[in-house]
Amino acid sequence: MHLFGSLLTIEEASALRLSFQVATCAAAVGLPFAVAAGYLLARSHFRGKWLIEVLVNLPLVLPPVVVGYLLLVCFSPRGPVGSLLSAWFGARIVFTWWGAVLASVVVSFPLMVRAIRLTFQGIDPRLEMAAQSLGAGRLRTFLTVSLPLARRGLIAGCVLGFARSLGEFGATIMVAGNIEGQTRTIPLAIFTLTNQPGGIDRSWRLVGLAVLLAGGALAVSEWLERRRSTDGTA
Amino acid sequence: MKACRSAVSPLTFIFMAALVGCENGSPDKTASADRRRGDQDVVTVFAAASATNALDEVKAAFAAKFGARVQSSYAASSTLAEQIASGAEPDIFLPAHVSWANYVGSKASVARRRNLLGNRLVVVVASDSRLELAAPEDLLSVDVEYLALGDPDAVPAGKYAREALTALGLWERIKSKVVPAKDVRDALTYVETGAAEAAIVYATDASISKKVRVAIEIPPELTEPVVYPVLLLNRSRENEAAAAFYEYIASPEAAMIFKKFGFAVLPEGEDTAKRPGGKASHSREP
Amino acid sequence: MALLDFRCRHPFSSGFQLDVAFESEHRFTTLFGPSGAGKTTILSIIAGFVTPREGYVRLGDRTLLDTDHRVSVPVKSRSVGVVFQDALLFPHLTVDANLRFGQRRRRKQKRVVDFGRVVEVLEVGGLLKRHPRNLSGGEKQRVALGRALLSGPELLLMDEPMASLDAPLKTRILAYLERVVIEWNIPTLYVSHSQAEVRRASDWVVILDQGRIVARGVPEDALGQPAPLGWSDSTRPMNLVRLDRVERTDGQLKGWIGSQLLSLPPQAPSGLLPRFAMFSPAHVFLSKQDLAGVSARNHLRGRVCRLATSNQAIFVAIDIGQIIWAEVTPAAANEMNLRAGDEVFCLLKAHGLSLVD
């Protein structure tokens, strides 16, 4: 952050660092789950499938504060998951930047799954059958055929998750709180400023940063979409 | 763009709330036209969220007595103040801190103003908490991992809480465990769900939630008095119902309702912002 | 004990019922029939891609599927190699990696198939570093064939692998296939809708139509049944005669069927001598005596074996050393009073023949 030392205030630099950190982690953490869910929804047909689809898409249609509240109830030390975490690992998620990561993962999950599922659907399932006929089990087929072919779509899904996490506010402020230097990401920093008289004027720089980061991430995603090469990778 | 949606959501919210708040027509002429047309019976009130329950009852009593309708918008004082500054035109503004009344005063034309309500700060814990807290100093204990406050940089209740803790010499030592909540409701939620072991909120808020109980009462002399001023904005000169509501809200009848919810009602005439040499702290910007 | 034993009953999406049962002990068996007859479905069931409502598949001494006893071996363990119509090579792997894909898991290969030999026989050595997107259709099919082979299967399934190739290429790939079959002797089940392919390559054929078996046997017999004779689409009857000897003199090609001379059409100088001649039964003129002064160069003498009626035409099977079919109108057959045992002459224009390598 020394590079930006002269351009940004300490608070702004901290918000930028946190935003980047949280968004990157959220994309990384969410990816394996999104891949599993995307593949399952793309390829499997079973009776309860619609229920999985509803659950996956729920964070997309619920207001983020509601999502935040539900996460808070689950993960705070009294909650079902939080109590287990603190009993087994002595770990606490609420009010830490891991809480921000959690909120971002949940909120961007439907978007990631959507992109990844489409990618898998675009891969000819007969390729997987061919692999199996050559003796590859389902896991090996997935790892050596499906996944490499889905590479581009997975990256695009990650970028989408990253971009969504950058803008995450409602759930984050609930679960992670608005703690300067720990969980105050760019959206939360902007919010803090707008709550002070005349603070809106000071928040434009952060708004600009947020637009740049998110816009950059989306541009990368678009570019990846366009670069569909003819090698058959999706 | 989805990514920017949340980033500018406070601004969007302000924009949209401004539209809502100005539902009688944002251009002044339309509003006045409405009024002149005989729609004299609607009073628009912007009030701090902490006054929600009490004010709802006062509204109902007023409507029953005078037959006029009161529309209210409850939000954080900061949000409401920004809306007014951006052109929203309620008749009455009831913030939770004098600084917001001053801010509005500098941005819009205010007809009348007085200090209306007072409040007290309390420390709450979950109702089934086994924490033994007798005095504010106990908050330093290691059993209290997180202390939830309204954001001291933004929320009036938080500002007062920080003031009190500073006055007790505790703030520096305690601030690492402070969780700034975006409003008092969230602070209460944190305690209710166990995310935070304790919170400092208004007494009026604590009484609303069944899942928390008051552990400590913060001595009022530790802070500047918690004052909720009430303003009658100038545009409403022609609105008789608005003026009537402004009077009603200070009446003994309304006072009874406020006290029932735990507010203190300040005696009439205490407009300290206008009192020369009055406590300079009231005009202090947060 | 038969090598492959297959039975199934399964509803089609189009409303038909697939209801077949057959056994085969032969090295090269073809499933033949028009589109939609169920041939590909049968292959899918044997490979394990589709589980039928009722079915039984036994390969050698292994039961791959038995719905009555809820037995279904997973695809990866069936040891069945598949060559698809559109090759289905893995686009993200080189040809080399594609070929080797099935090799790793074959610890207990019953057949060890040597990589170098496969590359040699299929002539794909120069392609190894390329990606599928840079291969032609024929090259892709050769690689697909090699890939299936190298997984050391006990049975090769081929689903109309020539369908997307043009005619000259078809025959070239078929030649590779024949080499493969001879070299490694892997039992093969081949799906086709070309009579010529069947006649050329198959030891045995199972003929299907609308989900049912309508004939089975050695190609000459089975294809002479009424049902296949009556088809008029791409599965229509086709004669394919093997040329016992071919000579090129002064640019002219001549072939022999036994001792009978066949004048062949001029051929582009590709250097390869044809091995088969193909012609439609409709292009065969019959005459009770040998005619002079006619443009048709080929007068083949033969004996009528039998007559078959189908679709307002009469098909006459004639033994000229090999069995060929001639298609005549019922009126003509009546007039000529054709009977089994009669001697006839078959007149063929040289230009009516297609040459096949």
Chain B residues lying within 8 Å of A185, measured CB to CB: none
Chain A closest-CA separation from residue C98 CA (Å): 10
pLDDT at C107 over 70: no
CATH number for B91: 3.40.190.10
Chain A residue closest in CA terms to B284 = A197
- Which of A126, A135, A138 has the CB atom closest to C102's CB atom? A135
Taking alpha carbons only, the member of C140, C142, C143, C192 closest to residue C163 is C192
Task: Look at residue B285 in the predicted model and tell me its pLDDT.
Answer: 42
A163 in Cβ contact with A217 (< 8 Å): yes
Interchain CB distance below 8 Å, A169 and B7? yes
- Which of B81, B181, B195 has the CB atom closest to A94's CB atom? B195
Interchain CB distance below 8 Å, A200 and B285? no
In a domain, B274, yes or no: no
Query: What confidence tens digit (pLDDT) does each residue in C259-294 have?
Result: 888 888 887 656 677 888 889 999 999 999 888 888
Cα separation, B117 vs B123, in Å, equals 20
Chain A residues lying within 8 Å of C88, measured CB to CB: 124, 126-127, 130
Is the alpha carbon torsion for B37, B39, B40, B43 positive or negative?
negative
Domain count along chain B: 2
> Does A147 lie at the interface with C, CB-CB under 8 angstroms?
no
Do chain A and chain C touch with ≥3 beta carbon pairs under 8 Å? yes
In a domain, A233, yes or no: no
User: Could you say which residues from 275 to 294 on chain C have a Cβ atom under 8 Å away from some Cβ of chain A?
Assistant: none
CATH number for A30: 1.10.3720.10
Lowest pLDDT segment from C243-247, C310-314, C320-324: C310-314
Residues B197 and B234 in one domain: no
Task: Look at residue B124 in the predicted model and tell me its pLDDT.
Answer: 93
Interchain CB distance below 8 Å, C74 and A132? yes
User: Taking every pair of C-alpha atoms in chain C, what is the biggest distance, in angstroms?
Assistant: 70
Architecture of domain C4-230: 3-Layer(aba) Sandwich (3.40)
- Look at B114 and C224; give whichever has higher pLDDT: B114
- Which of A69, A78, A168 has the CB atom closest to B6's CB atom? A168
B66 in Cβ contact with B247 (< 8 Å): no
Alpha-carbon Rg of chain C, whole angstroms?
22
Task: Look at residue B145 in the predicted model and tell me its pLDDT.
Answer: 87
Interchain CB distance below 8 Å, A195 and B180? no
Is the alpha carbon torsion for C140, C144, C149, C155 positive or negative?
negative
Confidence of residue A148 (pLDDT cuts 50, 70, 90): very high
Cα separation, B58 vs B245, in Å, equals 10
- Look at B244 and C16; give whichever has higher pLDDT: B244
Tokens coding B27: 């251009």
Kindly report, as residue ranges, where domains of CATH 2.40.50.100 are found in chain C. Answer: 240-356
pLDDT at B130 over 80: yes
3-state SS, residue A204: helix
Provide mean pLDDT across the span C168-192: 86
Q: What is the mean pLDDT of chain A?
A: 88
- Look at C129 and B238; give whichever has higher pLDDT: C129
Cα separation, C304 vs C323, in Å, equals 9
Chain A residues lying within 8 Å of B14, measured CB to CB: 194
Name beta bridge partners: B213: B125
Tokens coding B272: 């300290």
- Look at A224 and C27; give whichever has higher pLDDT: C27
Report ipTM for this prediction: 0.83
Interchain CB distance below 8 Å, A126 and C88? yes
Chain C residues lying within 8 Å of A145, measured CB to CB: 90
Cβ neighbours of C11 (radius 10 Å): 13
Chain A residue closest in CA terms to C156 = A133
Kindly report, as residue ranges, where domains of CATH 3.40.50.300 are found in chain C. Answer: 4-230
Chain C residues lying within 8 Å of A153, measured CB to CB: none
- Chain centroid to Cα C203, Å, comes to 9
Task: Look at residue B114 in the predicted model and tell me its pLDDT.
Answer: 92
Confidence of residue C190 (pLDDT cuts 50, 70, 90): very high
Amino acid sitting at position C340:
A
Query: What confidence tens digit (pLDDT) does each residue in C61-80 have?
Result: 899 999 999 999 999 999 99
Query: What confidence tens digit (pLDDT) does each residue in A36-56 have?
Result: 999 999 998 888 899 999 999
Task: Look at residue C268 in the predicted model and tell me its pLDDT.
Answer: 67
Residues B112 and B168 in one domain: no
Residues B215 and B252 in one domain: no
Cα separation, B133 vs B123, in Å, equals 9
C240-356, CATH topology level:
OB fold (Dihydrolipoamide Acetyltransferase, E2P) (2.40.50)
Confidence of residue A3 (pLDDT cuts 50, 70, 90): low
Chain B closest-CA separation from residue A36 CA (Å): 24
pLDDT at B275 over 60: no
SS (H, E, C) chain B: CHHHHHHCHHHHHHHHHHHHHCCCCCCHHHHHHHHHCCCCCEEEEEEEHHHHHHHHHHHHHHHHHHCCEEEEEEECHHHHHHHHHCCCCCCEEECCCHHHHHHHHHHCCEEEEEEEEECCEEEEEECCCCCCCCCHHHHHCCCCCCEEEECCCCCHHHHHHHHHHHHCCCHHHHHHHEEEECCHHHHHHHHHHCCCCEEEEEHHHHCCCCCEEEEEECCHHHCCCCEEEEEEEHHHHHCHHHHHHHHHCCCHHHHHHHHHCCCEECCCCCCCCCCCCCCHHHHCCC
pLDDT at B4 over 60: no
Lowest pLDDT segment from B24-33, B102-111, B148-157, C179-188: B24-33
**B147: containing domain:** 121-222
Find chains touching chain B: ≥3 CB pairs under 8 Å: A
pLDDT at B24 over 60: no
